[in-house]
């Protein structure tokens, strides 16, 4: 059973499983194409590429997540208050103060990233800073620090890179299908057939894989981070109130995308993305359930 003390080890194991699965999948794809075209070079390229992507996802996924979201370093003078809150909470948790970033966006939201507490970062939107009271901000930041302490950020940020690559790969095959041309003989015809099959398969597989992996990360991590955050601040009402305000904002974030959606404390696609049928595919548990868990 997951607890505040076992989650970190569990997430480290999940990260290795994800990276190994990606490694095997890319090598398998490279082997298939090297067999079809009778070219061992394709397999060598696939092996090298999978190694580079795995290493890159571990070391640089936090930078990619911050860049994709449009986050900028928070000036210590301009954002003095939020820096002070984050530093005080970090001392309480017993970890190094993460780097603080700000996203210029009216939607109230936040996320944490980084492979470990020493290389962690927390990003908050300008909308969050304008919308929330101090006790609510403390609740949100404590929630994000819990993700860092529990090593949720390790598996969450690695997923950003690996899922992003799957999506790009599907686009690559679809473009090859459309523009590869198939009028140059049997070999070109065979290539086009392969591109068509691979393109459609990956186009269908990419979003499904994204959802399955994000579900594998487990929605329970949000409940666990909420509980951890409440323990840190000793004031669960603050985080509960913050979640209520975050969920009330209906418009999506400007840089919202499916690859990084699971990083945020609230769904970056807005309140409508968690209604009706969409709830089945949401990366976050319903806000109502999270608030109820905090207040009971």
Active site residues: 144
Q: Judge contact between 107 and 268, C-beta under 8 A.
A: yes
Question: d(Cα 103, Cα 271) in Å, to the nearest integer?
Answer: 19
Segment 191-225, tens digit of pLDDT: 656 656 765 666 566 556 656 665 655 567 888 89
Question: d(Cα 152, Cα 24) in Å, to the nearest integer?
Answer: 23
Q: What is the mean pLDDT of residues 4-29?
A: 67
Segment 115-168, tens digit of pLDDT: 889 999 999 999 999 999 999 999 999 999 999 988 887 777 677 666 666 666
Beta strands per DSSP E along the chain: 72-73, 99-103, 110-113, 121-125
Segment 36-86, tens digit of pLDDT: 667 788 778 878 877 887 787 778 878 988 999 999 999 999 999 999 999
All domains of the chain, ordered by start, with CATH? 69-152+219-295 (3.30.2010.10)
Q: For residue 252, what is the DSSP state?
A: P
The mean pLDDT of the chain is 79
3-state SS string for 28-81? HHHHHHHHHCCCHHHHHHHHHHHHHHHHHHHHHHHHHHHHHHCCEECCCCCCHH
pTM: 0.76
For the cut 90, the answer to whether the pLDDT of residue 106 exceeds it is yes
**Confidence band for 2, pLDDT divided at 50, 70 and 90:** very low
In DSSP notation, 152-169 reads: HHHHHHHHHHHHHHHHHH
Q: In what order do the strands lie in the sheet with 99-103?
A: 72-73, 99-103, 121-125, 110-113
**Confidence band for 284, pLDDT divided at 50, 70 and 90:** confident
Question: d(Cα 45, Cα 185) in Å, to the nearest integer?
Answer: 26
Residue scoring higher pLDDT (241 or 48): 241
Segment 167-200, tens digit of pLDDT: 666 566 556 555 554 444 555 566 656 656 765 6
């Amino acid at each position: 059973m997951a607890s505040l003390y076992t989650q970190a080890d569990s997430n480290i194991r999940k990260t290795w499983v994800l990276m190994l699965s990606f490694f095997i999948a890319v090598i398998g794809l490279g082997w298939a194409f090297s067999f079809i075209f009778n070219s061992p070079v394709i397999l060598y390229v696939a092996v090298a590429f999978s190694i580079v992507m795995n290493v890159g996802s571990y070391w640089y996924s936090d930078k990619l997540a911050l860049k994709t979201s449009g986050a900028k370093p928070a000036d210590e003078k301009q954002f003095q208050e939020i820096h002070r809150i984050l530093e005080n909470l970090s001392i309480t948790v017993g970890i190094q103060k993460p780097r603080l970033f700000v996203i210029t966006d009216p939607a109230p939201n936040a996320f944490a990233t980084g492979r470990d507490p020493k290389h962690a970062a927390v990003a908050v939107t300008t909308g969050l800073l304008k919308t929330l009271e101090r006790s609510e901000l403390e609740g949100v930041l404590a929630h994000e620090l819990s993700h860092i302490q529990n090593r949720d950020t390790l598996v969450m940020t690695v997923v950003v890179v690996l899922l992003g690559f799957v999506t790009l790969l599907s686009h690559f095959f679809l473009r090859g299908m459309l523009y590869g041309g198939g009028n140059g003989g049997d070999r070109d015809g065979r290539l086009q057939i392969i591109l068509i099959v691979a393109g459609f398969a990956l186009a269908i597989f990419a979003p499904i894989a994204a959802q399955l992996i994000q579900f594998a990360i487990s929605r329970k991590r949000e409940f666990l981070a909420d509980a951890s955050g409440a323990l840190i601040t000793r004031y669960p009402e603050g985080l509960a109130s913050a979640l209520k305000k975050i969920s009330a904002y209906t418009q999506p974030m400007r840089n919202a995308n499916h690859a990084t959606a699971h990083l945020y404390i609230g769904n970056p696609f807005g309140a409508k993305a968690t209604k009706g049928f969409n709830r089945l595919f949401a990366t976050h548990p319903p806000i109502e359930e999270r608030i109820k868990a905090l207040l009971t």
